[in-house]
Amino acid sequence: MADGMTRMDKLRLFMRYTERKDYLMLMAAFLFVVVQVYMDITIPGYMSEIVELLYTPGTVPSDILGTGGWMLLCALVSLSAALVTGFIAARVAATVAMRLREAIFRKTLSFSMEEIGRFSTASLITRSTNDITQVQLFIAVGMQVIIKAPIMAVWGVSMILGKNFEWTLVTAGAVVILVLIMSVIVFVAIPKSRLIQSLTDDVNRVTRENLTGIRVVRAYNAEGYQEEKFEDANRRLTDTNLFVSKVMSLVSPSMSFLMSGLTAAIYIVGATLIDSALPLERTALFADMVVFSNYAMLIIMAFMSLSMITIIAPRSLVAAGRIVEVIATDATIADGTETEGVPGKEGTVEFRDVSFSYPGAQEAVVSGITFTASKGDTVAIIGATGCGKSTIVNLIPRFYDVTSGSVMVDGRDVREYTQRSLRDRIGYVPQKAVLFSGTVRSNVSYGSEDATDEEVRKAVAVAQGRDFVESMEGGYDAPIAQGGSNVSGGQKQRLSIARAVCSKPEIYIFDDSFSALDYKTDLNLRRALKDEVGDATVIMVAQRIGTIRDADTILVVDDGRIVGSGRHDDLLRDCPVYREIALSQLSEEELS
């Protein structure tokens, strides 16, 4: 389980998504960084050589040209090395991101509803998108800096360390000040910036509340109340924003002051040093001074990028950890091997003393569920919200596995089938219709891609969708936007039903799929289903008595248990829970 993972486990798992080739590439990148840093460090040497040359009597411009040429060559080599490093980093980052993205996508698809529920869909989406991008960016940019900055710092320090105590002291002082400025950012500005995020969310929330409740707000003449609330959130956001920007307006000038101040300080110290040195040492000392100011800048830059990394790295590490958590989670549902049911038992669904509880939960969601649906039967399940109706039907296509007992389809325990062959037998219609971007046709023939035009048309007709589909521009090839946002709720539901019809299943599962339809459509649809696919078994969850009153068996579920089972008239007489539900919807006379 992902929860118990140590940081080391996570790292090890993360490493599995890198290959030897990547390491070779990284090694190469390392070498090129060394070349680059070497060149960057050599360049100030040429600079001071040029300066020395300038002071040497008898220097002709061609000498400078020679040294300058070498310096330029170094700059070119440095540029090339940097480009190669950048190329490698970009390739490795994109490769790792691609692999991780595919791995997390495949893994998520293998999850059952239980794992999905544990992470939540929204979180899984963030992990598969933003978190991956974060990691990619870190590898592409951060890794270079992580390799480069220490090399720069160590090298720079080693070059100046022996040279001169006073200058070293000045540089060290500058580094200390830099660290101080950086800690202001890390300890003052960053925590406040996090706060800004949540305050922005507040402003967003108040606005969203105002917009979603706009009719209520106006009905209660509460515009002033809302504005006051908004002003409060707005003021808190602005105050925090102000604080952070004020701190930051202090940081940036201080940085440039530090950099230019360091150069000036080295020169001023240099003047004293040279003044007190012997005339013969002075030329070398002067050249040293120019070199030193360059190395000092190099060191400052190295520390600056290192501190930037300490700001960025934690976020990327968290993102990587979140990705690994998903990849490390194993789906609780294992594939079986059978593809065929028991002969003669086609189209049957049987529950044998089934219980289900969430892992770690005290109480079972459903327990002691036993019933049989023969081929062509309609079994309806009714009960209050949260009583476990949906859970029962979700056990049939193995969205969850039973905790005890067994669910049999075609005479065989659902766990013995391969998931594919089990689900091929089932036409499932969820409570909330799901449509994918594409066309009406691609949505209806989803999962049965070889369906003919005739079959698609027929399925839509059975689902009572012919009129609206044929009036859409493009008819069966009319585009469907992501999430089906361009069709109404009732239309979505009908297309979702058509999809199930089109897959020609032995067994239909309707998880409260009719509540979004008006009574008339509901009735016509059930009639059409009976006419067209009368030999299929139907298991339906419903809320309306009207929808289920002619079912072969009605199961009344209360608190996860079956408290009544039979036909409408019998239940009305014998089952108090059923009677209560029925009376809340219909009057005595209508029921009789």
Binding of another protein by 111 (CB under 8 A) = yes
- Residue whose tokens read 């399925």: 459
* Ramachandran area for residue 208 (φ above 0: left; ψ -120 to 50: alpha; else beta): alpha
**Ranges within 148-187 binding another protein (CB under 8 A):** none
Binding of another protein by 404 (CB under 8 A) = no
**Ranges within 340-399 binding another protein (CB under 8 A):** 384-387, 397, 399
**Ranges within 287-306 binding another protein (CB under 8 A):** 289-290
Say if residues 348 and 368 touch (Cβ distance below 8 Å).
Answer: no
**Ranges within 489-518 binding another protein (CB under 8 A):** 489-490, 496, 499, 503, 516-518
Judged by CB under 8 A, the stretch of 18-26, 401-409, 451-459, 482-490 that binds another protein is 482-490
Q: Which is nearer to another protein, 186 or 255 (CB)?
A: 255
Binding of another protein by 310 (CB under 8 A) = no
- Quick one: which of 338, 372, 311, 324 has its CA closest to 187? 311
Binding of another protein by 531 (CB under 8 A) = no
Binding of another protein by 146 (CB under 8 A) = no
CB of 13 to another protein, least distance (A): 20
Q: How far is CA 525 from the centre of its chain?
A: 38
Cα dihedral 489, 495, 497, 503, rounded to 10, equals -160
Judged by CB under 8 A, the stretch of 186-194, 222-230, 339-347, 530-538 that binds another protein is 222-230
Cβ neighbours for 59, distance < 8 A, ≥ 6 positions apart: 53
The one among 232, 535, 569, 590 contacting another protein by CB under 8 A: 590
CB of 186 to another protein, least distance (A): 19
The one among 214, 334, 342, 361 contacting another protein by CB under 8 A: 214
* Strands of 507-511's sheet in order across: 426-429, 507-511, 537-541, 378-383, 553-558, 561-566
Say which amino acid occupies 368. G
Structure tokens of 203?
A: 């402003």
Cα dihedral 88, 92, 94, 97, rounded to 10, equals -160
Q: What are phi and psi of 373, to 5 degrees?
A: -120, 120
- Residue whose tokens read 């949906």: 390
The one among 419, 504, 530, 563 contacting another protein by CB under 8 A: 419
Say if residues 392 and 366 touch (Cβ distance below 8 Å).
Answer: yes
The one among 97, 291, 327, 366 contacting another protein by CB under 8 A: 97
CB of 242 to another protein, least distance (A): 5
Cα dihedral 546, 551, 557, 562, rounded to 10, equals 160
Judged by CB under 8 A, the stretch of 25-33, 271-279, 343-351, 361-369 that binds another protein is 271-279
The one among 8, 20, 194, 219 contacting another protein by CB under 8 A: 219
* Strands of 349-356's sheet in order across: 366-373, 349-356, 404-409, 412-413
The one among 10, 148, 412, 423 contacting another protein by CB under 8 A: 423
The one among 16, 161, 220, 474 contacting another protein by CB under 8 A: 220
Say which amino acid occupies 235. R
Provide the pairing of β-strand 404-409 with 412-413: antiparallel
The one among 154, 372, 479, 519 contacting another protein by CB under 8 A: 519
Binding of another protein by 221 (CB under 8 A) = yes
Binding of another protein by 198 (CB under 8 A) = no
Judged by CB under 8 A, the stretch of 268-276, 315-323, 450-458, 529-537 that binds another protein is 268-276
The one among 170, 309, 395, 426 contacting another protein by CB under 8 A: 426
Q: Which is nearer to another protein, 194 or 420 (CB)?
A: 420
